[in-house]
Copies of this chain bind each other. A is one copy, B any other.
Amino acid sequence: MPDAVRHVYFLSDGTGITAETLGSTLLTQFPKSRFYRTTVPFISTVAKARSVVREIDQVALRGEAPLVFSTAVGEEIRNELATCNGVLVDLIGVHVQLLEEALHVKASHQPGQAHGLGNALRYQSRMMAVEYAMEHDDGQSLRALEKAEVILIAPSRCGKTPSTMYLALQHGVYAANFPLVDEDFGHDVLPEPLRPFQAKCFGLTSNPMRLSQVRTERRPGSDYASLRQCGIELRNAERLYVTHDIPHVNSASMSVEEISAVILERMGLRH
């Protein structure tokens, strides 16, 4: 029954983020299959592991064996999970020996600190980047733009805000953003607040149809959301990027993760 919904478990002794991330990536290799996903984080005791195994075994009784992606590293917990009647995909264990050999040291087998505070300085700088991004969203504050590592510029609703947040939260990048409006176009110069920072600017564009759709959700029937107005703003924005040699990307069919990865790459911002 390849068409039935298959139960999938993401198990972890930490937050579950790694198990979900790699597990989901693997599942995208099977685009026609349908999955029902459950994440169980913080499996820190054998008792909790046992209760998860019981749940998986119950599901297994009712259909095909669930897929079980695990990043648990503690030996007792791994042994317990290994008894389940699911298809166990051990995301960590399979690579540890290779790495031990390559690094000439033994693995710690300590439960995942992968998404803990880790390097305190790096963590703090991520949190400061989030704060900075909140304060500098949508051009609300033009103070301290010189602290920005990148300034996203674009017409309204091209994805500036979520991309800025993602860059800050995941990568600790100081990102500001600045909305381009009609008054910013048709001159030979960049909008005044951006002029000292041209080298930090990164532009977003979109497709008129897509932008009109997004704007319509916000203000249905408005001139702002009209295909005509969206087309004008996008053309003008693109002209501005080209004139001032500002790197840019069409975000219409990209996720914030993809937009951010492109920005990091093009602006040389990987820390």
Contacts and interface: CB of A to CB of B under 8 A. Distances in A.
A131 interface: yes
Contacts of A162: 126-127, 130-131, 169
A253 B117 contact: yes
Interface string A157-186: 001011001100100000000000000000
B25 A117 contact: no
B255 A115 contact: yes
Interface string A102-144: 1111011110111111100001001100110010010000000
Given A39-B270, A87-B98, A105 B33 contact: yes
Contacts of A39: 270
A56 interface: no
B131 A31 contact: no
A95 to B, nearest CB: 5
Contacts of A159: 127
A69 to B, nearest CB: 9
A22 interface: yes
Given A16-B261, A65-B102, A123-B255, A31 B161 contact: no
A199 interface: no
A134 to B, nearest CB: 7
A6 B108 CA distance: 18
A80 to B, nearest CB: 19
Contact of A112 (B15, B28, B92, B105): B28
Q: Report how many copies the assembly holds.
A: 2
A165 B161 contact: no
Interface string A80-103: 000000010101101110110011
Contacts of A29: 73, 92, 96, 99, 107-110
A53 interface: no
B15 A257 contact: yes
A137 B30 CA distance: 38
Contacts of A27: 99
Given A15-B261, A29-B108, 5 more contacts: A31-B108, A42-B261, A87-B98, A117-B254, A130-B165
9 closest A-B pairs by beta carbon, nearest first, are A115-B257, A25-B114, A15-B261, A29-B107, A87-B102, A18-B25, A21-B21, A22-B22, A130-B162
